Structure 1
Amino acid sequence: MQLKRWLVAGAVVIMAAAVAGAAPATASHPVDPAQQSLRTLGLRHNLYLGTAVDLAALNDSADPQYRATVAKEFSSVTAENAMKWAELEPTRGTYNWGPADELVAFAKRNNQKLRGHVLVWHNQLPAWLTDGVNDGSISTDELRDLLRKHITTVVKRYQGKIWQWDVVNEAVSDPWDNPPTLHYKGFWAQHLGPGYIADAFRWARAADPKALLFYNDYNIEAFGSGDPANDKTQFVYDMVRQLRRDGVPVDGVGSQGHLGTQYGNYSTLQVAAALKKFAGLGVATAFTEVDVRSQLTEGVQAGDSNEINPRLQASAANYSALLQACLADRHCLSYTVWGFTDKHSWVPGWFSDPPEGMATIMDENYQPKRAYFELKADLIYSGPPYVLPRIPQRPRR
């Protein structure tokens, strides 16, 4: 679907040849920060701006702009799918390392950090594993050993190359699930019990003593009621606190940041308060999968600016709220968008009833949206040298 008419007139992605972005400043030609890349602006704060990478798009010779944009705009990359178990080991005992290895090499060439995603998740598991458990040919003891072997094999292969690993992903239910009381959910909890979480972190630490190990989940951007029975953020907070008390090597908590403009959204203050509270546990934080989707009504699809513009503005506000909160907390190490162009977004394929989209910071033609410029503004105006102490004005005599 092409939604071109809602673009800001004249907005252009500046595709500079240099990976880091802008040309050197001189006294007569100072650098305009608005022309710098997200990665350059983020590194002023030692904050890594990242994106999930679609390996097929990265290798599409007919679309070189995708690869160029990943290299120019981002200081961190995450494999969108290439490091998930079903992709790495589609046949038992036979690994397909090619795509993941390619992203590792790409990141090294472009001086980018690498987030590993994901070691343990209940989705995108290989069929041989889930079928074996369902038909009884894989016992509980064997399943636990297979999980240990998978974590150890993958982490050791990329030892010293991965900055942050999403060790366990989405282990906690939602209040709208059945039963509504929050609980540990999914394939691994069902077959191994919640103890698999601590096991996974310990196995990952044994395989790589230096990688940062994260628990990653969605809908944990801000606290709600504070009741762990129905407040997912509180449940995750209590879980991480207990894991740390038990000596489990949890180094960070990743908040995915999948938001939607149709919901009541968080303020920067709410998000910053959550980050601060997690930091109090002694862990790092990161936004790991940020996107902000909108419902594609008939008016939106017809190009009605009365429906499109409010969605673009709300999307930008959501992106900005998360980034401002991250900038406000020194423990927030990275801010990763889950794809940067609507040309390669998971949202339309997943949210179809009603249809949703417009979730990224650039359109299908790599033209930046309002959200892209708001992220830049947040990075520019969050401190020196572009924000300095006020100059007092003296009364004229």
Structure 2
Amino acid sequence: MKRKKIIVALLCVCGITTGITACKNATARTEVVTLKDAYAGKFYIGTALNERQIAGKSEEEMELVKKQFNAIVAENCMKSERIHPKEDTYNFALPDKFVAFGEENGMWINGHTLIWHSQAPAWFFEDDQGNTVSREVLIARMKDHIHKVVGRYKGRVHTWDVVNEAVLDNGELRKSKFYEIIGEDYLKLAFQFAREADPEAELYYNDYSTAIPEKRAGIIRLVKKLQDEGITVDGIGMQGHVGLDGPAIEELEKTILAFSGIGAKVMITELDLTVLPSPWERTGAEVSADFKYSKEMDPYAEGLTDSIKRQFDERYTHLFRLFLKHSDKITRVTFWGVNDGNSWRNNWPVRGRTDYPLLFDRNNHPKPVVDALIQMTR
């Protein structure tokens, strides 16, 4: 009788132990793995923060950022027209909050952008009478702007997009106000001033449509010329504003290899995937483009079809397969927005459309492709 009791007791203990082990295994299987955890050791997973989010008015979205991302970039509040609207006025309130949020959550912080022809205040280029300033005046204003902005966050902002979109699709330099007044030297000076302001920060050149062969070649000419003049460009940002059909994965890969081939780190800086038809035969991100709304250009206002959802998932999977293949060259993949609802794609190049370009929907729920991207790392 005693022996039977002992056997029964042992079976009970074994059953309890087995049950505990099974529970532990089930817990391990259902444990939520986030994007930033899945890609740790490969590259940072980043997102752009808009002004409402930075101001603390989108708590749910910010919780999503903390959970899924480990790198951030300011979508607008660090651009010169916002941070420096008048010659004697700097607005650091939101940039300060942006940097503090990144520090509090151990994130890789990117400053965007110091010199850009768009969203630059008119006063940069004019005197009190509205006349175009001299070369010397604009250089002094550039230096003051870069030194004050970069200097304020010295040792805190890890990387800066020093110059944004200076090369046209044909590979020629854009004839911006900076170019017209200063000449090509403005590019060299911008990087020089940023390096003076923070010798430890990584300095980048950033542009869209980098998969276009002519533009790719133009960017390489620009960076190599700067290198030959003794200017260090730490990395090149490939803005990832893509569509379902283009640019081709093969051309994106050529760009990654070409940029890394001249000693530059590579970042995918503004990733989003539009599912909407384009009103023009271009795949770029020229912000000045503006087309009239029509229902034909807004076919998914009530939701996506199953076919488009499949194409969306496949396209993101192909992109991330490429990024993983070259994870030794790519340091960061940053999405241009947190969820579909706050993406600029809803209003560019046609205002008032409904687009679905990001990994999280308008309710901050992950799309099915998120799990697929996580599984790719295992």
TM-score range, shorter chain: 0.7 to 0.9
Task: Specify the alignment match of 2:350 in structure 1.
Answer: 352
1:201 aligned onto 2:191: yes
Matching of residue 37 in structure 1 with residue 34 in structure 2? yes
Q: Say if 1:208 and 1:29 are closer, same or farther in 2 by CA, change over 3 A.
A: farther
Q: 2: CA distance between counterparts of 1:173 and 1:157? A: 32
Distance change >3 Å, CA 343–CA 276, structure 1 → 2 = same
1:163 paired with 2:141, answer no
Q: Distance in 1 between matches of 2:262 and 2:130?
A: 42
Partner of residue 73, structure 2: 78
- The aligned amino acid for 2:146 is I
In structure 2, the residue matched to 1:178 is: none
Give the match for residue 369 of structure 1: 367
1:101 equivalent to 2:82? Answer: no
What RMSD in Å do the two structures reach over aligned CA positions? Answer: 2.4
Find the residue that maps to 1:253 and give its secondary structure. Answer: strand
Partner of 1:135: 130
TM-score by length of 2: 0.82
8 A contact 1:140–1:192 mirrored in 2: yes
Please point out which of 265, 286, 290 is paired with 2:247: 265
Relative distance call for 1:235 and 1:356 in structure 2 (3 A) is: farther
Which deviates more from structure 2 when the two are superposed, residues 106-115 or residues 243-252? 243-252
Q: Structure 1 193/377 Cα, relative in aligned 2: closer, same or farther at 3 Å? A: farther
* Separation in structure 1 between the aligned mates of residue 318 and residue 274 of structure 2, nearest angstrom: 15
* Contact 1:58 1:66 survives alignment (8 Å): no
Q: Does the C-alpha gap of structure 1 residues 172 and 32 become closer, same or farther in structure 2, counting only changes over 3 Å?
A: farther
Residue identity matched to 1:93:
D
Displacement of 1:371: 4.0
Give unpaired runs (5+ residues) of structure 1.
1-25, 176-180, 225-230, 381-385, 387-397
2:215 counterpart of 1:219: no
Moved more, 31-40 or 85-94: 31-40
The unaligned stretches of length 5 or more in structure 2 are 1-22, 278-295
Equivalent residue number for residue 282 of structure 2: none
CA deviation profile, 1:26-71 (whole Å, cap 9, x unmatched): 97456448821111111142x110000013134354x421110111
Query: In structure 2, which of residues 190, 199, 221 is the aligned counterpart of residue 238 of structure 1?
Result: 221
Give the C-alpha shift of residue 194 in structure 1: 1.5
Question: CA contact under 8 A between 2:55 and 2:94: conserved in structure 1?
Answer: no
* Alignment CA distance shift 1:168-1:371 (3 Å): farther
Taking structure 1 as reference, are residues 109 and 354 closer, same or farther at Cα in structure 2, changes over 3 Å only? closer
TM normalised by structure 1 equals 0.78
Aligned with 1:120: secondary structure?
strand
How far off its partner does 1:203 sit?
1.1
Q: 1:288 aligns with which of 263, 266, 269?
A: 269
User: Which amino acid in the other structure matches residue 54 of structure 1?
Assistant: N
Report how far residue 363 of structure 1 moved. Answer: 1.5
In structure 2, C-alpha distance between the alignment counterparts of 1:315 and 1:75, rounded to whole Å:
24
Classify 1:80/1:111 alpha carbon distance in 2 versus 1 (closer, same or farther; 3 Å): same
Q: Supply the AA of the counterpart residue of 1:259.
A: V
Q: How big is the shift at 1:279?
A: 1.1
Per the alignment, residue 383 of structure 1 pairs with none
Deviation at 1:368, TM superposition (A): 1.9
- For 1:59, the aligned partner's letter is A
Deviation of 1:94 after TM superposition, in Å, equals 1.5
Quick check: 1:172–1:185 contact (8 Å CA) kept in 2?
Answer: no
Task: Give the letter for the 1:255 counterpart.
Answer: M
Give the secondary structure class of the aligned counterpart of 2:45.
strand
Distance across 1 between alignment mates of 2:30 and 2:97: 32
CA distance in 2, matches of 1:316, 1:214: 30
Which of structures 1 and 2 has the bigger CA Rg?
2
Write the letter of the residue equivalent to 1:243. Answer: L
Match of 2:238 among 243, 255, 264: 255
SS in 2 for 1:357: coil
Secondary structure, in 3 states, of the residue corresponding to 2:262?
coil
Higher helix share: 2
**More deviation, 287-296/64-73:** 287-296
Change (3 A) 1:86 1:354: closer
Name the CA distance, whole Å, in 2 between partners of 1:372 and 1:139.
51
Change in Cα spacing, 1:135 to 1:274, as seen in structure 2 (3 Å) is same
Letter in 2 for 1:233: R
- For 1:154 and 1:33, locate their aligned partners in 2 and report how far apart those are by CA, in whole Å: 45
What is the alpha-carbon distance in structure 1 between the residues aligned to residue 269 and residue 235 of structure 2?
Answer: 11
What is the aligned partner in structure 2 of residue 300 from structure 1?
300
Structure-1 separation of matches of 2:113 and 2:138 = 18
Q: Counterparts of 1:350 and 1:294 in 2: how far apart (Å)?
A: 13
Aligned to 2:120: 125
Please say if residues 290 and 319 of structure 1, whose CA atoms lie closer than 8 Å, have aligned partners that are also in contact.
no
Amino acid at match of 1:201: F
**How many percent of aligned residue pairs carry the same amino acid?**
30
Alpha-carbon distance, 1:351 to partner: 2.1
Q: CA deviation at 1:218?
A: 0.3
| Aligned positions of 1:54-73 closer than 5 A | 54-61=50-57, 63-73=58-68
